Chain A
Amino acid sequence: MKSKYWKLLAVFLSIGIVAAACGSDDGGGSSTTTAAQTTTTAEATTTTEVEVVQSGSLLDTVQSRGTLNCGVSGSAVAFSETQADGSITGFDADYCRAVAAAMTGSADNVSFTALTASERFTAVQTGDVDVLMRNTTWTQSRDSSVGMDFGPTTYFDGQQLMARVGDGFSADSTVADLDGAVVCTNIGTTTEKNIAEAAEMAGAEITLLGFETSDEVYETFINGGCDITTTDGSALVGRKVRMQPDDQEWVIFPATPISKEPLGPTYGQNDSAFADAVNWTVYATIIADEYGITSANVDDHVGDEGEVGRLLGGDGELQTGMGLAADAFYQVIKQVGNYSEIYNRNLNPVGLVREGSANAGWLDGGLIYSPPAR
């Protein structure tokens, strides 16, 4: 009996030793191969990185992939809304489609990703999305330390305030009139910081109430839980048009916003070819608007002389030189429309009009301006 156990133990021990030897052998062998692999992969990565810098290949990547990955909010009224069938529409979404039309030839080649404010820049850095059209304000820190680059501003927004006329506010009120008021706003955005700064500078004592969603802000405002709401002017106008109850009259002030919020396309830095393609797509919609070329009449202008002809691909050199198809911007105007069309289609329904605003063309006293196409 005893000798049997000893035999068994001996067998197990020898197997154990063999196994351990095999294991360590395997381990040693494979660890060297892994090391070798790591070095090769490291080399491979560096070479690809060099290629990226040299040829600006995000544009090539998008073109060979055939779709543009566009980061949007998915829950921003009129800018990027998720509709009842799950599709995403709005001003920002239309610019995604415009860029897709320029890069791939069809405005339908967009894959939208709905991003929260906190994950948007990470999504660009990890390559999950190629470009952000996510009502993102162009700021110094984002442009420099965050590692983003910004395209031309498509919408000039600014933070304003909204109050009830019945509480003695009018369109001429200023931040100084806020003394003692309760102000409601969304938490976790810069609006909170802006209004606190502005109130302090004007010497007004205010109480800030933060809410997680806009609906909660306006619900509280309607029920008298706060005297003032504050956020970007575009959102205030929309809420006023859609949500003002019959027994209240709301007013938006001051005429000069308390902050500057230039919104536009955002992408990773140091990729000129991609940046140029995005920027000139935006410029193309602006130039087409200046000449009154719309998706309806663009076919009549293809052979035109001058800037319009060059933009729509008559010359060909301008677009092909930057890695796009010669008719790239013709496709943009044809499939998505010019700046006015995009603006009116999405922003008129929430009560925003171009005339007289900062987003009018530069000839009409606005800020929307494009360098010449030549």
Chain B
Amino acid sequence: MSEFTGLGADLGMSTGTIPAVASPQTPKLPPREWVRANLFSSPFNSVLTVVSSLIILAITRGLLSFIFNPQRQWDATATNLRLLMTQAYPEEQYLRIWVSVAVILTLTGLSLAVWRAGSAVSIANVGRRLLSFGCTLALFALLAPFSARATIIWLLIAVAVAGGGGTLRRLADSERTISTLALVLIGLSGLVGSLWVVPYGNHTFELHRTPRVIAEPGTVALSTKFPWTIMLLIAVAAYFLGTYLRDRGSLNATRTTLALLWLLMPPVLLYLVLRDPDFDMGHVFGTDIPIFLACAVLGGALLNWLARPSTGEIGRIVAALVLIAAFATFLTPMRMIVRLDLLMLAAFALAAPTFSGGPRARRNYVIGWLGLLGVMSWLVTAVNTPSTIEVPGQFFLGGLSLTLMVAIFTIVISFPLGLALALARTSNMPIFRLLATWFIEFVRGVPMITILIFFSIMVPLFLPPGMHLSEVAAVIIGYSLFSAAYLAENVRGGLQSVTRGQHEAAEAVGMTTSQKTMFIVLPQALRVSIPPLVGHCIGVFKETSLLAIIGLFDVLYIARNVMPNQTEFMGSTKENILFVSLIYWLFCYQMSKASQRLEQRTGLGER
């Protein structure tokens, strides 16, 4: 197969030339022969098969008898779900949480449709999966320490599942396929529907009542099942809206908009929806908006002039002066927002010659400036506005939402940072290379706990007077720097896998360094580094549990230290930890699956 490169490879992929190559047929064996060929092919293999099956059975049995032991306090987990998810977020404000979930699901649905996620699987294959699932379920039902009645019920369910799978496998012809998305939808509908039917138990907690903890038989509370049903409907509606947009509108514009929305979503949800900032309108109209307008008009005019191709060298000098002025503002007392605006203007001014061109290019450049300025001004205003959410503790979120928030922000911030560090470390410019190397080696040589403690305790002391950084923000900055250093090394591994010939070929066709990096080197390097990058993201997600050390209540800390110290639920640590590990596993497994799909789409490991 010829060596496709960069864009060429992508084009080849999307037109479907590569999947057209037929894969060799693997011979299909009847079950008995398959078992003989794979499990009992030699005496050693037979012993291995028997011993490892016994070990797996013993472990499964132990786990099941732990989970279904009547002594287990699953009430603790069921009653404390709210604490585990959001800690002390007030119940009367829960609508904000549901709005956030709905926004995320809408974006997910739209993206699934616009990027044509999902693939077709044959129904016969689904039937086979169901059959094996039913058999596993039956095995579990026999192994678990159920009462006779429960065992029979579970066995019946297992037989029904397996039987359904078997019939599907036999009846459906091998050509009929179903989309994986439809399968996911069926599964989720079943899950949400079961909330209305299956008696999981109604666990409530009310502070001003004795007893405070009540576990009643029946289905879950209405405040759980109703919102989730709405959420499922929203996701489905968003998907169909997405297919409409994909087929009618301009695909590229839709994709760009969606990508921007995804980037904007975390701060918007956090600072506008969840935090419910108490905007001081007088201040907003009297100070914030005038500053924004002044910067927007003056900066826009300046950039428009700078991006004119006829401006020439004098433009660079002006840009350098703007940069000096921006640094000079730090020497005199001044509003932080003005300093930040000037710094950003300097960056835009310095980059202006790269984007210079006709009226259209200039207009786009100025729009980019206005958009970024608007987002930053709004963000600074929102961050500085006090929240109306009253909670005990330092931060208004805790539990899983804090874990997710820190993980998402850290991953999103550290990705471009790590990329820049990796490029700097491999660049030809000695200053960049040295600085990046020093930074990476220093950060990688220091334990993460040290960095967390440094950023939560020391950094606020170094800030200029009058500037306040909340502990969570400080920790996210520190964690992002830490994560960026590791990410940079992963990306550097990818960069080194791009052969010299690629660089030379790109230079031979007259690409500039930035074009070469953007279109030739990075696409190939990032493709190679997908597995370590996703591994790194999984690590970032799990290591958020270290936040407990600096007094933030993440989900693991609540499960291990808070819930077992409630009068009603003393001694529930084991159950809580098992539940939390299930949560961690769900998220990490999804990330891992996403990485595998991405690898398949980019053809990693096949060529």
Q: Say yes or no: is B120 at the interface (Cβ < 8 Å to chain A).
A: no
Among listed B61-69, B225-233, B570-578, interface-contacting one: B570-578
Residue of A nearest to B399 (CB): A86
Q: Say yes or no: is B205 at the interface (Cβ < 8 Å to chain A).
A: yes
With beta carbons under 8 angstroms apart, the residue of A27, A83, A239 that contacts B570 is A239
Q: Say yes or no: is A317 at the interface (Cβ < 8 Å to chain B).
A: no
Q: Say yes or no: is A114 at the interface (Cβ < 8 Å to chain B).
A: yes
- Which residues of the other chain, B, contact A8 by a CB distance below 8 angstroms? 313
- Asked whether B565 lies within 8 Å of A214 as measured between CB atoms, the reply is yes
Mask for B566-607, Cβ within 8 A of A = 1, else 0?
110011111000000000000000000000000000000000
With contacts A114-B553, A243-B571 taken as known, whether A83 is within 8 angstroms of B566 at the C-beta atoms is yes
B390-413 interface (Cβ within 8 A of A)? 390-394, 398
Q: Say yes or no: is B258 at the interface (Cβ < 8 Å to chain A).
A: no
- Which residues of the other chain, B, contact A343 by a CB distance below 8 angstroms? none
- Which residues of the other chain, B, contact A85 by a CB distance below 8 angstroms? 82-83, 88, 91, 205, 207
With contacts A23-B328, A82-B83, A84-B82 taken as known, whether A113 is within 8 angstroms of B394 at the C-beta atoms is yes
**B163 → chain A, closest Cβ, in Å?**
41
Complex CA–CA separation, A89 to B86 (angstroms):
18
Complex CA–CA separation, A116 to B560 (angstroms):
14
Q: Say yes or no: is B310 at the interface (Cβ < 8 Å to chain A).
A: no
Q: Say yes or no: is B534 at the interface (Cβ < 8 Å to chain A).
A: no
With beta carbons under 8 angstroms apart, the residue of A26, A86, A89 that contacts B88 is A86
- Asked whether A215 lies within 8 Å of B79 as measured between CB atoms, the reply is no
With contacts A83-B207, A215-B573 taken as known, whether A77 is within 8 angstroms of B566 at the C-beta atoms is yes
With contacts A27-B331, A30-B332 taken as known, whether A214 is within 8 angstroms of B564 at the C-beta atoms is yes
- Which residues of the other chain, B, contact A349 by a CB distance below 8 angstroms? 567
Q: Say yes or no: is B371 at the interface (Cβ < 8 Å to chain A).
A: no
B128-164 interface (Cβ within 8 A of A)? none
- Asked whether B392 lies within 8 Å of A88 as measured between CB atoms, the reply is yes
With contacts A82-B562, A83-B212, A86-B82 taken as known, whether A218 is within 8 angstroms of B392 at the C-beta atoms is no
- Which residues of the other chain, A, contact B321 by a CB distance below 8 angstroms? 19
Residue of B nearest to A38 (CB): B465
With beta carbons under 8 angstroms apart, the residue of A26, A81, A114 that contacts B566 is A81
Mask for B530-570, Cβ within 8 A of A = 1, else 0?
00000000000000000000010100001011101111001
With beta carbons under 8 angstroms apart, the residue of A19, A22, A89, A242 that contacts B571 is A242
- Which residues of the other chain, B, contact A27 by a CB distance below 8 angstroms? 331
- Which residues of the other chain, B, contact A22 by a CB distance below 8 angstroms? 324, 328
Q: Say yes or no: is A115 at the interface (Cβ < 8 Å to chain B).
A: yes
Complex CA–CA separation, A115 to B86 (angstroms):
19
Q: Say yes or no: is A63 at the interface (Cβ < 8 Å to chain B).
A: no
Residue of B321, B324, B560, B565 most packed against chain A (CB within 10 A):
B565
Complex CA–CA separation, A198 to B5 (angstroms):
75
Complex CA–CA separation, A119 to B574 (angstroms):
27
- Asked whether B567 lies within 8 Å of A350 as measured between CB atoms, the reply is yes
- Asked whether A112 lies within 8 Å of B392 as measured between CB atoms, the reply is yes
- Asked whether B317 lies within 8 Å of A15 as measured between CB atoms, the reply is yes
- Asked whether A81 lies within 8 Å of B565 as measured between CB atoms, the reply is yes
Complex CA–CA separation, A216 to B571 (angstroms):
8
Complex CA–CA separation, A11 to B83 (angstroms):
65
Complex CA–CA separation, A69 to B406 (angstroms):
26
Q: Say yes or no: is B89 at the interface (Cβ < 8 Å to chain A).
A: yes
A210-232 interface (Cβ within 8 A of B)? 213-216, 218-219
**B509 → chain A, closest Cβ, in Å?**
28
Residue of A27, A74, A81, A82 most packed against chain B (CB within 10 A):
A82
**A216 → chain B, closest Cβ, in Å?**
7
Complex CA–CA separation, A82 to B565 (angstroms):
8
Residue of B nearest to A89 (CB): B207
Residue of B332, B392, B561, B564 most packed against chain A (CB within 10 A):
B392
Q: Say yes or no: is B414 at the interface (Cβ < 8 Å to chain A).
A: no
Q: Say yes or no: is A320 at the interface (Cβ < 8 Å to chain B).
A: no
With contacts A30-B332, A114-B392 taken as known, whether A84 is within 8 angstroms of B564 at the C-beta atoms is no
- Asked whether B393 lies within 8 Å of A112 as measured between CB atoms, the reply is yes
- Asked whether B565 lies within 8 Å of A76 as measured between CB atoms, the reply is yes
Q: Say yes or no: is A139 at the interface (Cβ < 8 Å to chain B).
A: no
Complex CA–CA separation, A37 to B331 (angstroms):
13
Q: Say yes or no: is B241 at the interface (Cβ < 8 Å to chain A).
A: no
With beta carbons under 8 angstroms apart, the residue of B79, B91, B212, B573 that contacts A213 is B573
Number of interface residues of B (CB under 8 A): 45
Mask for A117-132, Cβ within 8 A of B = 1, else 0?
0010000000000000
A146-174 interface (Cβ within 8 A of B)? none
With beta carbons under 8 angstroms apart, the residue of A23, A41, A74 that contacts B324 is A23
Q: Say yes or no: is B213 at the interface (Cβ < 8 Å to chain A).
A: yes
Mask for B352-377, Cβ within 8 A of A = 1, else 0?
00000000000000000000000000
- Asked whether B324 lies within 8 Å of A19 as measured between CB atoms, the reply is yes
Complex CA–CA separation, A11 to B398 (angstroms):
57
**B566 → chain A, closest Cβ, in Å?**
5
With contacts A85-B91, A213-B573, A216-B573 taken as known, whether A113 is within 8 angstroms of B207 at the C-beta atoms is no
Complex CA–CA separation, A289 to B89 (angstroms):
36
Q: Say yes or no: is A194 at the interface (Cβ < 8 Å to chain B).
A: no
- Which residues of the other chain, A, contact B332 by a CB distance below 8 angstroms? 26, 30, 33
Complex CA–CA separation, A33 to B334 (angstroms):
13
- Asked whether B573 lies within 8 Å of A219 as measured between CB atoms, the reply is yes
Complex CA–CA separation, A162 to B562 (angstroms):
23
With beta carbons under 8 angstroms apart, the residue of A19, A114, A213, A215 that contacts B551 is A114
Q: Say yes or no: is B304 at the interface (Cβ < 8 Å to chain A).
A: no
Q: Say yes or no: is A333 at the interface (Cβ < 8 Å to chain B).
A: no
**A333 → chain B, closest Cβ, in Å?**
19
- Which residues of the other chain, A, contact B390 by a CB distance below 8 angstroms? 111
- Which residues of the other chain, B, contact A82 by a CB distance below 8 angstroms? 83, 87-88, 392, 558, 562, 565-566
- Asked whether B331 lies within 8 Å of A26 as measured between CB atoms, the reply is yes
**B593 → chain A, closest Cβ, in Å?**
32
- Asked whether B328 lies within 8 Å of A77 as measured between CB atoms, the reply is no
Complex CA–CA separation, A22 to B321 (angstroms):
11
Complex CA–CA separation, A113 to B573 (angstroms):
23
- Which residues of the other chain, B, contact A238 by a CB distance below 8 angstroms? 567, 570
- Which residues of the other chain, A, contact B333 by a CB distance below 8 angstroms? 37
B317-348 interface (Cβ within 8 A of A)? 317, 320-321, 324, 328, 331-333
- Which residues of the other chain, A, contact B561 by a CB distance below 8 angstroms? 75, 213
**A187 → chain B, closest Cβ, in Å?**
14
- Asked whether A84 lies within 8 Å of B79 as measured between CB atoms, the reply is yes
- Asked whether B89 lies within 8 Å of A215 as measured between CB atoms, the reply is no
Q: Say yes or no: is B80 at the interface (Cβ < 8 Å to chain A).
A: yes
Complex CA–CA separation, A74 to B83 (angstroms):
13
Q: Say yes or no: is A39 at the interface (Cβ < 8 Å to chain B).
A: no
With contacts A84-B80, A112-B392, A219-B571 taken as known, whether A119 is within 8 angstroms of B564 at the C-beta atoms is no
- Asked whether A86 lies within 8 Å of B317 as measured between CB atoms, the reply is no
Residue of B nearest to A80 (CB): B565
- Which residues of the other chain, B, contact A258 by a CB distance below 8 angstroms? none
Q: Say yes or no: is A78 at the interface (Cβ < 8 Å to chain B).
A: yes
- Which residues of the other chain, A, contact B571 by a CB distance below 8 angstroms? 215, 218-219, 239, 242-243
Residue of B nearest to A84 (CB): B205
Mask for A4-18, Cβ within 8 A of B = 1, else 0?
000010010001000
Q: Say yes or no: is A270 at the interface (Cβ < 8 Å to chain B).
A: no
Listed A/B pairs (14) with beta-carbon separation below 8 Å: A33-B332, A41-B465, A74-B392, A75-B562, A82-B83, A82-B87, A82-B88, A83-B566, A86-B87, A86-B89, A86-B398, A113-B392, A113-B393, A215-B571
Knowing that A81-B565, A219-B574 touch, tell me 7 more A-B residue pairs with CB under 8 angstroms.
A11-B317, A77-B566, A85-B205, A86-B86, A86-B89, A86-B391, A214-B565
Please list the 8 inter-chain residue pairs (A to B) with the smallest Cβ-Cβ separation, ordered nearest first: A86-B88, A112-B392, A84-B205, A215-B573, A30-B331, A75-B565, A215-B564, A242-B570
Query: Could you list which residues of chain A lie within 8 angstroms of chain B, going by C-beta atoms?
Result: 8, 11, 15, 19, 22-23, 26-27, 30, 33, 37, 41, 74-78, 81-89, 111-116, 119, 213-216, 218-219, 238-239, 242-243, 349-350
Query: Could you list which residues of chain B lie within 8 angstroms of chain A, going by C-beta atoms?
Result: 79-80, 82-83, 86-91, 205, 207, 212-213, 313, 317, 320-321, 324, 328, 331-333, 390-394, 398, 465, 551, 553, 558, 560-562, 564-567, 570-574
